[in-house]
Amino acid sequence: MSFSVSLWGAMWLAAMSGCVTAPAPERLLEVPEFSLVDQGGQPVGRADLAGEVWLAAFIFTSCPGPCPMISGHMKEIQEHYRDAPAAADLRLLSFTVDPATDRPEVLRAYGERFGADFGRWRLLTGEPAAVEALIVGGFKQALQRLPPPEGAAGPVNILHAERLMLVDRAGWMRGLPDPYEPDKRRLYAMVDAVLAEGG
């Protein structure tokens, strides 16, 4: 009886505190090797992220639509884990889908605009062919460039994935969390479960 009371008590406390737990999601695909640079011009590849859990987002700096919202969500995630010892090896990565425009200095200014802590949150670019091959062929994410309507001025619009990508310490994609969830409890539960797996 005491076990039942304790169990229900623990469940009640979890519910009242808004805590959500979840089993670690299954492996979906292995992230391929890549060679890009960050907002400071420093090289970044899969090997540099070995042993770290990371969340990837896909953005471009001239995006008038979802990208500022996605980057705002990344800032919220950064702040949620800022002082969490168990998340010391969590990294945030924003991959530009417009590398011809988004050179390192452009990404740095964009990151500063969103309060990026560059020790945890890096913004990546590279040669256009390499970026497209990684996003489409490696990450299996949609990417399509749409020119402005005929006769209209304005930048090219780019359709791309809006979900985040969660990658574990061994370089396997473990899920595509939705950053738009208002309280992000399921997103954090997914990240926490992969972090808890250890090295």
By CB atoms closer than 10 A (0-12, 13-18, 19+), residue 59 is buried
Q: What is the pLDDT of residue 125?
A: 98
C-alpha distance from residue 42 to each of 7, 32, 55, 122, 140 (Å): 50, 19, 19, 10, 25
Give the HSE-up count for residue 162: Cα atoms under 13 Å, Cβ half-sphere. Answer: 15
Which among 88, 89, 99 has a CA at the least distance from the CA of 36? 99
For 118-156, how does the pLDDT look when each residue is reduced to its tens digit (9 = 90+)? 999 999 999 999 999 999 999 998 777 877 666 666 566
β-sheet bridge partners, residue 124: 95
- In the chain, the percentage of residues whose pLDDT exceeds 90 is 64
For 168-197, how does the pLDDT look when each residue is reduced to its tens digit (9 = 90+)? 999 999 999 888 888 899 999 999 999 999
Give the HSE-up count for residue 73: Cα atoms under 13 Å, Cβ half-sphere. Answer: 25
Its pTM stands at 0.83
Q: Is the pLDDT of residue 6 over 60?
A: no
Q: How many CB atoms neighbour CB 21 within 10 A?
A: 10
Q: Write the secondary structure of 145-195 as one string of H (helix), E (strand) and C (coil).
A: EECCCCCCCCCCEEEECCCCEEECCCCEEEECCCCCCCCCHHHHHHHHHHH
Which residues are CB-contacts of 191 (< 8 A; sequence separation ≥ 6)?
A: 53, 55, 81, 87, 90, 166, 177
DSSP 133: I
Cβ(108)–Cβ(70) below 8 Å = no
Cβ(111)–Cβ(24) below 8 Å = no
